Chain A
Amino acid sequence: MSEHIDRLALKFKAGDAEAFGEIYDLLFDKIYRFIYFKTYHKETAEDITSRTFLKALGGINGFNPNKARFTTWIYRIARNAVIDYYRTRKKNSDIDDIWDIKDPSDMVLDLETKEYIAKLHTALNTLSPDVREIIILRIWEGMSYREIAGIVGKSEAGCKMAFSRAVKELRGKIAIVVAVLTVLVSRIG
């Protein structure tokens, strides 16, 4: 799959516009989801997704298949686009995504997720942003360690280590998380 996307990217780089259309079809959902998990807001995710694909289109000459897969390359663009978005909005250089906002109540969020996010923060917010991202990409997106390493800018072994440590840490806090979920479920019920 990744190899196929790389070939499409090279075709586009060589001047075949239709190849970019194919890339878009293959990657749109993933990129949108990746951004949405970092923003939890539909319009913001759409805005950043647009920026991501436009940047990829405009910067295709910078893509080098010898250095990274196209998938990795565009995830990095998406990741940076999210960081840029929050840093511009909050004028705070420490914020990478919605998870880093201590009190997201002033942020524009989807109504149905507001409460959920608040609770989930309890469980995951104790993790560093990089580790949290690794967990999301590995468990929610099913990405390989190699792909994750490319996106977050770490080594493959480092990603594996961070992932297992994070899960171990979370396991210790599972009681708290379960309690949170129980409360949430009872409220919905």
Chain B
Amino acid sequence: MIDKQKLIDELIRLDPSLADNKRRLDETISLIIESKPEVRVDKDFRENLKRELMLKAKEKSVKRRSVLYWFLDKKIRVALGLVCLAFLIGIPAIRFLRVAPYETFSVAVDRMEALPETEEQERYAIPEALKQAAPKIAGIPAEKPVDIVRYDKAMEIDAPPLPAPSVADMVMDTDTGAHLYFEERARSLSGIPQEEAVKMESKDLPRRSRISESAKPVSEPKLTVYPPKPIDSVFLDTLRFPVLNLPLSKGYTGWDDLMSAALEKPHVPRLIAVDEVINRFDYKQGERFGDSPFAVASEGAVCLWNPETKLIFLNITALEDLRGARAVVEFDRDTVSRYRLIGFIAPTHHRETAIGYNIKAGESFAFLIEIETTEDTDGIFNLSFRWDNKDYIATVNIRDFAFDTVSNDYKLAAAIAMVAMEIRNGEYRSKNLKLAIDTLKGMDKDYLPAEVDKLIGLIEW
């Protein structure tokens, strides 16, 4: 109840005339105050009503609980405040203190756009599998964070452009080539001597033909180190392998890798694909091969890097769009004793059931085949083409093997292959880079492509 005197003062402030008879005012207020009835509340009623109301309130609150509830609860507000504070202070602090003991190990994955379209889940599983595989294979500590810097243009993700191989710690490739870079990095990171070979082993790493398997998590990939295997010969015996299927497809990154290596960037020389370097250039189209839809140019000469062997140059051009086309070389065993296809590990191309390729009109494929011949060089090999269940076979005869008489195309292909093999530091190199450069420099200046000129400049510099 309100204080009487306070009430009287207030009333006089409101109406000063009330002060004229203050005693009467006092009596009036006193009377009203004293006449306030005493109200006795039934405690049972009070408790029962509360119980009833609380039941209804709980029913209602379950249906109606909103986001606002969490903000109004004091404990939750404090907790949220602490979380925000942790973010504001904690993250810069962690960065400042560099809690992570290692920098990120970046893995660049290239050329997955060549893969067939996969389900959404598989798409995202691939980089995750790579993340798991990369540190294990490279032998880096498990705590080190791995960052996939780019894995596929075709994955519809706003990924940054693929860095140059020197930017990423590791490049993984679903096609060919990059696994060499991978192995090379693994070797250097693990301190494995250059003389020892390393092999990356993982069943589940992405491969072009096994995309569905690549989607699975990597199961314990391991790095195997084994002593260098003595190479008996880089050549294949025609008695054992009389047939060579020519791969009517080509990659395009070999030249860039060659230029990077020539620039002495940190680079893995073994990444250079010699066959891709040869196919960098357009060569003169040959004659139509019988009544087939192919044109073939073929030449041979003493091998630039090995006077004991001969080098065959083949340029095959499709004259129309072809599906499932095959090109097969069958060597005359009496003439050719051994051979190797430059830029390839030969045994992979000696299955009778070789796959066919879909090629477009105008597309051409250049090949260099190094052969060991008997004295009689007649009938070097039969070249056959097949598509649409039709076979076209003709014997390729090359009688003159003088290097001076071969075309510029031949010289360019041979010399550039030699440069690539030298810089690649491969097992089959002749260790005579100067000869290769001199050969290129001795060619007709009007013919020599500008980028080859640039390459020569880089190497000489």
Contacts and interface: CB of A to CB of B under 8 A. Distances in A.
Contacts of A28: 41, 46, 49-50
B95 interface: no
Contacts of A135: 32
A174 B72 contact: no
B361 interface: no
A177 B31 CA distance: 8
Nearest to B3: A142
Contact of B57 (A10, A20, A50, A164): A20
Contacts of A33: 39
For A16, A17, A120, the residue with the greatest tally of chain B CB atoms inside 10 Å of its CB is A17
Contact of B11 (A12, A16, A167): A167
Contact of A15 (B28, B36, B65): B65
A171 B18 contact: yes
Nearest to A172: B24
Contacts of B69: 11, 14-16
B31 A164 contact: no
Contacts of B57: 12, 17, 20-21, 57
Interface residues of B, number: 45
B41 A29 contact: yes
Given A14-B65, A42-B42, A177-B31, A140 B54 contact: no
Contacts of B45: 46
B72 A11 contact: yes
B21 interface: yes
A33 B46 CA distance: 13
B61 interface: yes
B200 to A, nearest CB: 57
Interface string A32-53: 1100110010100010011001
Contacts of A16: 61, 65, 69, 72-73
Nearest to A15: B65
Interface residues of A, number: 51
Interface of A: 7, 10-17, 20-21, 24-25, 28-29, 32-33, 36-37, 40, 42, 46, 49-50, 53-54, 57-58, 60, 113, 116, 120, 123, 135, 138-140, 142, 160-161, 163-165, 167-168, 170-171, 174, 177-178, 181
18 contacts: A12-B57, A14-B68, A16-B72, A17-B54, A17-B61, A21-B50, A25-B50, A29-B41, A46-B45, A116-B37, A140-B32, A140-B33, A140-B36, A161-B14, A163-B14, A167-B25, A170-B28, A171-B25
Interface of B: 1-2, 7, 11, 14-15, 17-18, 21, 24-25, 27-29, 31-33, 35-37, 39, 41-42, 45-46, 49-50, 52-54, 56-58, 60-62, 64-69, 71-73
Given A20-B54, A60-B60, A161-B14, 5 more contacts: A14-B69, A16-B73, A32-B41, A138-B7, A164-B18
